[in-house]
Amino acid sequence: MTSFPPVDEQLTILMRGVDFGDAQTYKNMEVELRQRLQESRDTGRPLRVYCGYDPSSPDLHLGHTVTMRKLRQFQDLGHHVIFLIGTFTGIVGDPSDKDSARPQQTLEEAMEKGKTYAQQAFRVLDPERTEIRYNHEWLSKLSFQDVIGLASHFTVQQFLARDKFAKRYAAGDPIWLHEFFYALMQGYDAVALRTDVQLGGTDQLFNLMAGRKLMEVFGLRPQIALTTPILVGTDGHERMSKSTGNYIGITEPPEQMYGKIMSIPDHAMRNYAELVTSWHPDTIERLFADLEAGKIHPRDLKMMLAREIVTLFYSEEDARRAEAYFIRTIQKKELPDEMPALQVEPEDTIVDLLVRAGFAKSRGEAKRDIKGGGVRLDGEIVRDITLRPQPGSEGSVLQKGKRRFVRLVA
């Protein structure tokens, strides 16, 4: 009989970082989870917890690890975790985060990519306490009559009310019928696995709730749905995704991982700190309060962030080497021994400084240079036109192109 920690202790850990965008849903799921955890303690039966990952590419990235770390929390508390590889849902592709239909792939292609998912999952999860499953095992066996039966429990209006579908419908963009099947397929996963809890991103709430609905239809107790915020990609705006190229793979070399983290916009740092690091929430609050007060330079905090994330997947020594490599090859690359100084006022934006430095003839030109990726601050590409640089004690280097430099001083 398995012994579990007190329910309040488990609940504090498991609900941390969970976000539904709706206080009532949060309360309902918390109440249900508390009850299920208590039953687990009373009976000694671990909860069955799962999350699905569609193999749209051969590698897992940091965005996947947000829910994987929550799975690991369940594992560490003694519960049973299922890492589900969506070999069949991956044929359709989840439309939840897309403004257009995903390209379809074959089952064979999805299976091939899924092999690496199974291997890479153990960079976060405990292999001794992880069950790997593939949803083609049951979805490929459903008959057309079965699919009609699943579809009969949902309305077209329910689907069209979803954010991405609503936008596409309003714009007159095509919404393909097969995209509606995705939620049915994911919902049926919960039925086949007979799970207690399913995890997903906040954009997946509809799919998770579809699982609750279908479990009731099949006479099963509805699973608890827990959703976590979305990790933005290296562009700082769009969801991290292989298809958009804004991803950081969890098997990338330490130097490459470190460099990509250093390239994220400053405004995205908190998103990474809260969703990817092992920092305590109090530590995160203190660091970003210091950043807001000007006690810590954005570059220094970002370097702390990069060291922390690389260390999660490699050793501390690997992280130190990656940082040294970044400083040697990126920060100090092509910097002239002497460069003019430019005084920075508190109200100055990066656009103001480019114009004042003579790097752009107008604010419009400066904005185009930034959007084109031609401007760097301390070796990092600047993407935010509203950025207000805060030079440290040694100043910061503003660069346009390969040969135009100015040292910013406070």
Q: Which CATH number goes with the domain that contains 60? A: 3.40.50.620
Within 10 A of 302 (CB to CB), how many other CB atoms are there? 23
Q: Provide, rounded to the nearest whole percent, the portion of the chain with pLDDT above 90.
A: 59
**CATH code, domain with 324:** 1.10.240.10
- For residues 342 and 19, what is the distance between their CA atoms, to the nearest angstrom? 44
Do 14 and 129 share a domain, yes or no? Answer: yes
- Using alpha carbons, list the distances in angstroms from residue 300 to 15, 81, 202: 31, 37, 30
Cα-atom radius of gyration of the chain, to the nearest Å?
Answer: 24
Do 193 and 147 share a domain, yes or no? Answer: yes
**pLDDT band for position 187 (cuts 50, 70, 90):** very high
Structure tokens at 197: 């809890």
Structure tokens at 66: 């947000």
**The last residue of a domain, from among 331, 350, 385:** 331
Q: What does the DSSP assignment read for 138-197?
A: HHTT--HHHHHHHHTTS-HHHHHTSHHHHHHHHHT----HHHHHHHHHHHHHHHHHT-SE
Residue 100 has pLDDT above 90, yes or no: no
Do 45 and 151 share a domain, yes or no? Answer: yes
- For residues 200 and 63, what is the distance between their CA atoms, to the nearest angstrom? 11
Structure tokens at 206: 């509809």
Do 136 and 168 share a domain, yes or no? Answer: yes
Within 10 A of 21 (CB to CB), how many other CB atoms are there? 11
Give the mean pLDDT of 54-65: 88
Do 363 and 220 share a domain, yes or no? Answer: no
Give the mean pLDDT of 369-385: 86
Q: Are 141 and 92 in contact (CB under 8 A)?
A: no
- Using alpha carbons, list the distances in angstroms from residue 60 to 57, 85, 185, 233, 314: 8, 11, 22, 13, 15
**Residue bearing tokens 């850990």:** 13
Q: Which class for 44: exposed (0-12), middle (13-18), buried (19 or more C-beta within 10 A)?
A: exposed
- For residues 126 and 71, what is the distance between their CA atoms, to the nearest angstrom? 10
What pLDDT, on a 0 to 100 scale, did the predictor assign at position 55? 87
The answer to whether residue 238 is domain-embedded is no
- For residues 351 and 342, what is the distance between their CA atoms, to the nearest angstrom? 13
Between 102 and 177, whose confidence is greater?
A: 177
The answer to whether residue 358 is domain-embedded is yes
Structure tokens at 46: 């671990």
What pLDDT, on a 0 to 100 scale, did the predictor assign at position 284? 93
**The last residue of a domain, from among 303, 331, 359:** 331
**The last residue of a domain, from among 331, 360, 385:** 331
Q: Which of 43-52, 371-380, 391-400 has the highest mean pLDDT?
A: 43-52
H or E element in which residue 309 lies: helix 298-313
Do 141 and 184 share a domain, yes or no? Answer: yes
Do 284 and 372 share a domain, yes or no? Answer: no
Do 272 and 135 share a domain, yes or no? Answer: no
- Using alpha carbons, list the distances in angstroms from residue 313 to 29, 108, 236, 305: 31, 29, 22, 13
Do 135 and 166 share a domain, yes or no? Answer: yes
Do 122 and 213 share a domain, yes or no? Answer: yes
**pLDDT band for position 1 (cuts 50, 70, 90):** low
The answer to whether residue 215 is domain-embedded is yes
The answer to whether residue 217 is domain-embedded is yes
pTM of the model: 0.75
Do 103 and 200 share a domain, yes or no? Answer: yes
The answer to whether residue 235 is domain-embedded is no
Q: What angle do CA 375, 379, 381 make, to 5 degrees?
A: 40
Residue 403 has pLDDT above 80, yes or no: no
Do 316 and 398 share a domain, yes or no? Answer: no
Q: Provide, rounded to the nearest whole percent, the portion of the chain with pLDDT above 70.
A: 94
In angstroms, how far is CA 407 from the centroid of its own chain? 35
> What mean pLDDT, rounded, does the chain reach?
89
Between 276 and 402, whose confidence is greater?
A: 276
Question: What distance separates the 2 farthest-apart alpha carbons in the chain?
Answer: 75
- For residues 156 and 93, what is the distance between their CA atoms, to the nearest angstrom? 19
Q: Model confidence over 387-396: pLDDT tens digits? A: 988 876 667 8
What is the tally of structural domains in the chain? 3
Q: Model confidence over 215-229: pLDDT tens digits? A: 999 999 999 999 999
What pLDDT, on a 0 to 100 scale, did the predictor assign at position 396? 83
Helices (H) and strands (E) in the chain, counts: 18, 10
Q: What angle do CA 337, 338, 343 make, to 5 degrees?
A: 135
Q: Which domain holds residue 124?
A: 7-228
**CATH code, domain with 381:** 3.10.290.10
The answer to whether residue 19 is domain-embedded is yes
